[in-house]
C-alpha cells in the first residue's frame, strides 16, 4: 500500500475505479498480446509495459479529452489510457485492415489521431522534437490545450532530448515531458548510462521544473503530472516528470534478460502498481472485494472480446499495398 | 512583366502565402531578425511578427521536428535549414517521422510542411557548406523533392509546396539567388511533378535542374553557334518525376546528357538514366546515356579546384558536343 504523497491531488472514487480498470485493461491487453504471439498469430515484435501501468494511467488521466499525447514504442498503455477503441487497437496489433492504422503501423506505431494520441514511435527520442512542433501548434491555436510527450530513460541520452527540451522551454510551450524511467535502455542499465541520480535533475539545465516520482504509485504520478499540466495550461511552460518504474518483461521478444537478475525482477513484481492501487482503495474503504473482482473481470473480458473482434477482421488487400504513402 | 531575383521570388511566395493563410509560419536559424543567412526572409519578421517568423537556437533536428509536429496539428509550417549540409542533422525527423507518419498511421494524420534549404558549391565555403544531397531524400517515400531553377518556377513551386499536404523538401540553388527573371505579381502555382522544357531543340536532350539547368541553357546557346540544337528539360520536381516529358524529349532527340552538381555515384542522374533506359525511349537512343556530374569527392576550398569539382558551362558544352558528334 502506498502512503500518501505530499500535496497529493484528490481523486474521487468513480475516477479511481476507472483508472483501476484501465490499468487492468493494459495488463490484460499485453498478456493477450503475448499469448497471441506465442500462438503464432502475430508476426513482428512488441514492447510490453507490464508493471508500468501506473505511469501511463496516472499521467494521461490528468488530461482533458481534447488534449494530446505522443507515445513511444512501449506505448500500449498510453493508447489505452487515452481512451482508444480496444477493437481498433487490437486489430492494429494484429495487422488488420480495420485497425487504427489499417495494419500498416502495428504495435510500434499505433495512433488514434482523432482520440488525441498522435502515435507511438519506433525511434527512441523520435517523438521529442515532434513534441516541440505540436506544442507550437497548440500555442498558436490559443485553445488552451496541452500535451504529454512520453519517452524512456534511454531517450534522455539522445541529442534530440537536449534540443527539444531547450526549445520547448525558451518558448514556454504547453508540454509535459514524461520520462518513464524503467531502468534499462534495452540492456543498458541507467546506472551505467548516466552519472547522475535522477533524470529529472536535467530539467534545471533547461530552466524548467523537474520532479522524480514513484512511477508505480498512481497517486504520485497523477499529482506530479497534474501540477505540470496546470503549469503548461497556464502558459508557464513545460516540465519534466520522471516516473521511476520497471518493465517486468524483456525489452522486446528477443530479450533473454541476461543483463538483470531474476531476483531483481521479482523484487519489482512486489511493487505491482495495480495491486498497490487496489489495496489502497480497499484500505480507504473505496473498493469492495466484489467490486474489485468485477472491475478486473470486466477488463479481461473487454480484451478477450476485442481479440475475438480483431481475429475476425480482414487482412489488408494486396491491391491496396501502396495506398497512403502520400496524402491527397 | 516585372522581374524579380530568385531570392526575391522565394520571399514573395512566402509573404503571399503567409498573407493568405495564418497557419503558415516560418521557423529556422536566423530567419527572423537577421533575415536568413542569405537574406531570403529579410523583412518578414517586421511584417508578420516574431510569432510567425520564428528564430530558433542552432538545433536542426528540432527545427525538423517542429515543422513535423506543427503540421500534424494543422499548421502549415515552412522550416529553413541554413545550408543543405546541415540537413544531415535534421534527417531523422524528416526521414523517420515527417515522411512516414501519414502511411504509418494508415492515412490518418498528415504532415503538410515545407523544409527549404540551399544547396551547392561555388561560394568558397568548402566541404561542409557546399553539398548537394537531394538524392538522399528522393530515395525516401513520403517526401516530395523540388529543385527550381528560375524565379518564376521558385514562386509557383513554393506556393504549391506550401499547399501540398505532404512534407516537401524545397531545394534552392544558392548561386541562383541573385539571378533575375520575370515573375507575375499575383499568386500562382505550378503543379509538383511537371517538368518544363526550358529550350526546344532536336539534336540532344539535356536534363538538368537548379543551377545546372541555367548552365545547360548557357551551354546550349554556345552550341547553337556551332549549329547544334539542344533541348533542355528541367524536371523542376525530382519527386514525383515527370517521366513523360523526359521520355518524349529523348524519343525526339535520340541522345541524352544528364547534368547535376551532386556526386555522380548514387546521384539523381542514375535514376534518370534508368527511367530513360527502361522506357520506350530506349529504342530511340542513338548513343549511350551520359551523366555529367560532380566528382566523387568533397568540395575543396581552393577556387580553381572548387570550379573543377562540379560541371561548369564549358564542361557541358564539351560533353554535349561529343555526344552529338557520336564520340561517346
In this structure, what CATH number is given to the domain that contains residue B212?
3.40.50.920
Smallest Cβ–Cβ distance between A119 and the set B62, B75, B101 belongs to B101
> Is A133 in contact with B112 (Cβ distance < 8 A)?
no
What is the rounded distance in angstroms from the CA atom of residue A253 to the CA atom of residue B197?
A: 55
Same domain, B103 and B203: no
Mean pLDDT, range B55-75, rounded to an integer? 98
Chain A positions in Cβ-Cβ contact with residue B61 (cut-off 8 Å): 129, 159-160, 163
Q: Are residues B218 and B241 in the same domain?
A: yes
Whether the CB of B112 is below 8 Å from some CB of chain A: the reply is yes
Evaluate the omega torsion of the peptide bond into residue B240 and state whether it is cis, within 30 degrees of 0.
yes
Rounded Cα distance, A259 and B217, in Å: 64
Q: Where are the alpha helices (DSSP H) in B167-263?
A: 211-224, 243-253
Q: Are residues B169 and B201 in the same domain?
A: no
Q: For B204-208, what is the mean pLDDT? A: 98
B228 in the same domain as B145: no
B104: nearest CA partner in chain A: A105
* B218 and B313 Cβ atoms separated by less than 8 Å: yes
B189 is a domain residue: no
Confidence (pLDDT) at A4: 67
What is the tens place of the pLDDT at every residue in A266-282? 999 999 999 999 999 99
Q: Which three cell numbers stand for residue B266?
A: 548514387
- Nearest-angstrom CA–CA distance, A144 and A154: 31
Q: List, in order, residues 6 or more apart from A207 with CB less than 8 Å away.
A: A169, A170
B56 lies within 8 A of chain A by CB: yes
Whether residue B60 is contained in a domain is answered as yes
Cell matching residue B299 = 568540395
For chain B, positions 123-162, list CB contacts with chain A under 8 A.
141-142, 144
Q: Determine, yes or no, domain membership for B164.
A: yes
What is the per-residue DSSP string for A121-155? -SSTTTHHHHHHHHHHHHHHHTS---EEEEEETGG
Average pLDDT, chain A: 96
B189-219 burial, b for 16+ CB within 10 Å, e for fewer?
Answer: bbebbbbbebbebebbbbbbbbbbbbbbbeb
Is the minimum CB–CB distance between B201 and chain A shorter than 8 Å? no
Count the Cβ atoms, other than its own, within 10 Å of residue A271: 17
Q: Based on the domain organization, do B267 and B174 belong to the same domain?
A: no
Residues of chain A with pLDDT under 70: 1-5
Residues B16 and B114 in one domain: yes
Are B65 and A164 an interchain contact pair (Cβ–Cβ within 8 Å)? yes
**Cα B192 from chain centre:** 12
Q: pLDDT tens digits, residue range B225-281?
A: 999 999 999 999 999 999 999 999 999 999 999 999 999 999 999 999 999 999 999
What gap in Å lies between CA B23 and CA B71, rounded to an integer? 9
Shortest CB distance from B69 goes to which of A102, A134, A141? A134
Min Cα distance B172 → chain A (Å) is 23
Residue from the list A99, A118, A129 with its beta carbon closest to the beta carbon of B66? A129
pTM above 0.80, yes or no: yes
Pick from A123, A128, A325: which is nearest to B103 by CB?
A: A325
Residues B295 and B177 in one domain: no
Which residue range forms the structural domain that includes residue B126? 3-182
For residue A87, give the C-alpha cell. 477493437
Instruction: Note the pLDDT of residue A1.
Output: 43
Q: Note whether residue B73 is domain-resident.
A: yes
Is B68 in CB contact (< 8 Å) with chain A? Answer: yes
Distance CA B234, CA B251 (A): 16
Give the model's pLDDT for residue A189.
96
- A134 lies within 8 A of chain B by CB: yes
The pLDDT value given to residue A159: 98
Interatomic CA distance for residues A22 and A89, integer angstroms = 14
The whole-chain average pLDDT of chain B stands at 98
Q: Shortest CB distance from A327 goes to which of B27, B61, B110?
A: B110
- Write down which residue in B182, B214, B247 finishes a domain: B182
Which residues on B lie below 8 Å from A149 (Cβ)? none
Q: Name all domains of chain A by residue range, CATH numbers in brackets.
A: 50-74+108-262 (3.40.50.970)
Reading phi first (left if > 0) and then psi (alpha if -120 to 50, else beta), residue B327 is in alpha
> Mean pLDDT throughout B24-53?
98
pLDDT at residue A253 in the model: 81
Q: Where are the beta strands (DSSP E) in chain B?
A: 3-5, 24-28, 53-55, 76-80, 114-119, 144-146, 168-173, 180-182, 196-199, 204-208, 230-234, 237-239, 256-263, 290-294
Residue B99 lies in a domain: yes
Q: Nearest-CA residue of chain B relative to A89?
A: B105
Is B129 a known active-site residue? yes
Asked, for residue B133, whether it belongs to a domain, the answer is yes
Choose among B47, B52, B43: nearest CA to B25: B52
Could you tell me if B226 and B90 lie in one domain? Answer: no
Please report which helix (H) or strand (E) contains residue B153, including its range. Answer: helix B151-163
The verdict on B127 and B244 lying in the same domain is no
| Each residue's pLDDT tens digit, A192-245 | 999 999 999 999 999 999 999 999 999 999 999 999 999 999 999 999 999 999
Could you give the CA distance from residue B154 to residue B158 in angstroms, rounded to a whole number?
A: 6
How many angstroms separate the CA of residue B278 from the nearest CA in chain A? 21
Are residues B166 and B42 part of one domain? Answer: yes
Is some CB atom of chain B closer than 8 A to the CB atom of A114? yes
The answer to whether B56 contacts A167, with C-beta atoms less than 8 Å apart, is yes
| Domain end point (choices B147, B182, B217) | B182
Distance CA B99, CA A225 (A): 31
Residue B16 has pLDDT above 80, yes or no: yes
**How distant is the alpha carbon of residue A16 from its chain centre?**
18
Nearest to A101 among B27, B96, B106 (CB): B106
Q: Which residue of B26, B67, B69 to mutate against A (max A Cβ within 10 Å)?
A: B69
B214-235: pLDDT as tens digits: 999 999 999 999 999 999 999 9
* Residue B327 domain flag: no
C-alpha to C-alpha distance for B308 and B311, rounded to whole angstroms: 7
Nearest-CA distance B103 → chain A (Å):
5
Q: Does A111 touch chain B (CB under 8 A)?
A: yes
Query: For residue B71, which residues of chain A lie inside 8 Å, CB to CB?
Result: 133, 137
Nearest alpha-carbon partner for B262 in B171, B188, B163: B171
**Together in a domain, B202 and B172:** no
Check B62 against A119: CB less than 8 A apart. no
- Between chains, do A135 and B97 touch, taking CB under 8 Å as contact? no
Partner-chain residue, chosen from A70, A105, A133, that has the shortest CB–CB distance to B70: A133
Chain A residues touching B69 at Cβ < 8 A:
70, 118, 129-137
Does the distance separating the beta carbons of B108 and A114 come in below 8 Å?
yes
State the SS3 of A148-206: EEEEECHHHHCHHHHHHHHHHHHCCCCEEEEEEECCEECCEEHHHHCCCCCCHHHHHHH
Same domain? For B125 and B39 the reply is yes
Residue B97, chain A, CB below 8 Å: the answer is yes
Cα A124 to Cα A121: distance, rounded to the nearest angstrom? 7
At residue A232, the 3 state secondary structure works out as helix
DSSP state of B299: P
Contact criterion met (CB below 8 Å) for B104 and A109: yes
DSSP line for B34-91: S--TTSTTTTHHHHH-TTTEEE--S-HHHHHHHHHHHHHTT-EEEEE-SSGGGHHHHH
> Nearest CA to CA, how far is A20 from chain B (Å)?
29
Residue A248 β-bridge partners = none
* Exposed / middle / buried, residue B284 (Cβ in 10 Å: 0-12, 13-18, 19+): middle
- Confidence category of residue B328, pLDDT binned at 50, 70, 90: confident
Residue from B106, B138, B192 whose CB has the most chain A CBs within 10 Å, to mutate = B106
Closest residue by Cα to residue A28 from A80, A82, A70, A72: A80
What is the grid cell recorded at A251? 525489452
| Look-up of cell digits 488552451 | A144
In b/e form, how buried is each residue of A172-196, taking b as 16+ CB within 10 angstroms?
A: bbbbbbbbbbbbbbeebebeeeeee
- How many structural domains are present in chain B? 2
Per the domain annotation, does B191 fall within a domain? Answer: no
Q: Is the pLDDT of residue B157 over 80?
A: yes
How crowded is residue B270: how many other Cβ atoms within 10 Å of its Cβ?
16
Q: What is the pLDDT of residue A44?
A: 84
How many beta-carbon pairs below 8 A join chains A and B?
149
Boundary-marking domain end, from B153, B182, B211: B182
Whether B67 has its CB under 8 Å from any CB of chain A: the answer is yes
Distance to chain B for A137, nearest Cα, Å: 5
Nearest Cα neighbor of B125 from B211, B34, B39, B37 is B37
Q: What is the CATH number of the domain that holds B172?
A: 3.40.50.970
CA distance A91 to B157: 40
Mean pLDDT of B274-293: 98
Say whether residue A317 is in contact with chain B using an 8 A CB cutoff. no
Q: Does B101 touch chain A (CB under 8 A)?
A: yes
User: Considering B129, B260, B308, B325, which one is annotated as catalytic?
Assistant: B129
Q: Is B64 on the interface with A (CB under 8 A)?
A: yes
Amino acid at each position: 500500500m502506498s502512503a500518501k504523497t505530499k500535496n497529493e491531488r484528490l481523486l474521487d472514487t468513480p475516477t479511481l475505479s476507472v483508472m483501476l480498470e484501465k490499468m487492468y485493461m493494459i495488463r490484460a491487453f499485453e498478456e493477450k498480446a503475448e499469448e497471441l504471439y506465442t500462438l503464432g498469430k502475430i508476426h513482428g515484435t512488441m514492447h510490453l509495459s507490464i508493471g508500468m501501468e501506473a505511469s501511463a494511467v496516472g499521467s494521461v488521466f490528468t488530461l482533458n479529452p481534447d488534449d494530446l499525447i505522443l507515445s513511444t514504442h512501449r506505448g500500449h498503455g498510453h493508447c489505452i489510457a487515452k481512451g482508444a477503441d480496444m477493437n481498433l487497437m487490437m486489430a492494429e496489433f494484429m495487422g488488420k485492415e480495420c485497425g487504427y492504422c489499417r495494419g500498416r503501423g502495428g504495435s510500434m506505431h499505433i495512433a488514434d489521431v482523432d482520440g488525441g494520441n498522435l502515435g507511438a514511435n519506433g525511434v527512441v527520442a523520435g517523438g521529442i522534437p515532434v513534441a516541440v512542433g505540436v506544442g507550437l501548434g497548440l500555442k498558436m491555436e490559443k485553445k488552451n490545450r496541452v500535451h504529454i510527450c512520453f519517452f524512456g530513460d534511454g531517450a534522455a541520452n539522445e541529442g534530440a532530448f537536449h534540443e527539444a527540451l531547450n526549445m520547448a522551454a525558451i518558448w514556454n510551450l504547453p508540454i509535459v515531458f514524461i520520462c518513464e524511467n524503467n531502468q534499462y535502455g534495452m540492456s543498458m542499465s541507467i546506472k551505467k548510462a548516466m552519472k547522475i541520480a535522477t533524470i529529472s535533475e536535467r530539467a534545471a539545465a533547461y530552466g524548467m521544473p523537474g520532479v522524480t516520482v514513484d512511477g508505480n504509485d498512481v497517486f504520485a504520478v497523477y499529482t506530479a503530472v497534474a501540477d505540470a499540466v496546470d503549469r503548461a495550461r497556464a502558459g508557464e511552460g513545460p516540465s519534466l516528470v520522471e516516473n521511476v518504474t520497471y518493465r517486468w518483461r524483456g525489452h522486446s521478444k528477443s530479450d533473454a534478460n541476461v543483463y538483470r537478475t531474476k531476483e531483481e525482477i521479482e523484487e519489482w513484481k512486489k511493487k505491482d502498481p495495480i495491486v498497490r492501487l487496489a489495496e489502497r482503495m480497499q484500505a480507504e474503504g473505496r473498493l469492495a472485494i466484489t467490486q474489485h473482482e468485477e472491475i478486473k473481470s470486466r477488463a479481461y473480458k473487454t480484451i478477450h472480446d476485442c481479440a475475438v473482434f480483431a481475429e475476425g477482421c480482414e487482412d489488408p488487400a494486396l491491391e491496396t499495398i501502396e495506398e497512403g504513402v502520400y496524402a491527397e | 512583366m516585372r522581374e524579380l531575383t530568385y531570392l526575391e521570388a522565394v520571399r514573395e511566395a512566402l509573404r503571399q502565402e503567409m498573407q493568405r493563410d495564418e497557419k503558415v509560419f516560418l521557423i529556422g536559424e536566423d530567419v527572423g531578425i537577421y533575415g536568413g543567412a542569405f537574406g531570403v526572409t529579410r523583412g518578414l519578421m517586421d511584417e508578420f511578427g516574431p510569432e510567425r517568423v520564428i528564430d530558433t537556437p542552432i538545433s536542426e533536428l528540432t527545427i525538423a521536428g517542429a515543422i513535423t509536429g506543427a503540421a500534424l496539428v494543422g499548421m502549415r509550417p515552412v522550416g529553413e535549414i541554413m545550408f543543405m549540409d546541415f540537413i544531415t542533422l535534421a534527417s531523422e525527423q524528416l526521414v523517420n517521422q515527417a515522411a512516414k507518419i501519414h502511411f504509418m498511421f494508415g492515412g490518418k494524420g498528415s504532415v503538410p510542411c515545407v523544409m527549404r534549404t540551399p544547396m551547392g558549391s561555388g561560394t568558397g565555403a568548402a566541404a561542409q557548406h557546399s553539398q548537394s544531397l537531394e538524392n538522399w531524400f528522393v530515395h525516401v517515400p513520403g517526401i516530395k523533392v523540388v529543385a527550381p531553377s528560375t524565379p518564376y518556377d521558385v514562386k509557383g513551386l513554393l506556393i504549391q509546396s506550401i499547399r501540398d499536404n505532404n512534407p516537401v523538401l524545397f531545394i534552392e540553388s544558392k548561386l541562383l539567388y541573385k539571378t533575375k527573371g520575370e515573375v507575375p505579381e499575383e499568386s500562382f502555382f505550378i503543379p509538383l511533378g511537371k517538368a518544363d522544357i526550358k529550350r526546344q531543340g532536336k539534336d540532344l536532350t539535356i536534363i538538368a535542374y537548379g543551377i545546372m539547368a541555367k548552365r545547360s541553357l548557357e551551354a546550349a546557346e554556345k552550341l547553337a553557334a556551332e549549329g547544334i540544337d539542344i533541348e533542355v528539360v528541367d524536371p523542376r520536381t525530382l519527386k514525383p518525376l515527370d517521366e513523360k516529358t523526359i521520355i518524349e524529349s529523348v524519343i525526339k532527340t535520340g541522345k541524352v546528357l544528364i547534368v547535376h552538381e551532386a556526386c555522380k555515384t548514387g546521384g539523381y542522374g542514375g535514376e534518370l538514366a534508368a527511367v530513360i533506359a527502361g522506357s520506350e525511349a530506349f529504342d530511340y537512343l542513338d548513343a549511350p546515356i551520359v551523366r555529367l556530374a560532380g566528382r566523387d569527392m568533397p568540395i575543396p576550398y581552393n577556387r580553381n579546384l572548387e570550379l573543377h569539382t562540379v560541371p561548369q558551362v564549358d564542361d557541358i558544352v564539351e560533353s554535349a558536343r561529343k555526344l552529338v558528334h557520336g564520340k561517346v
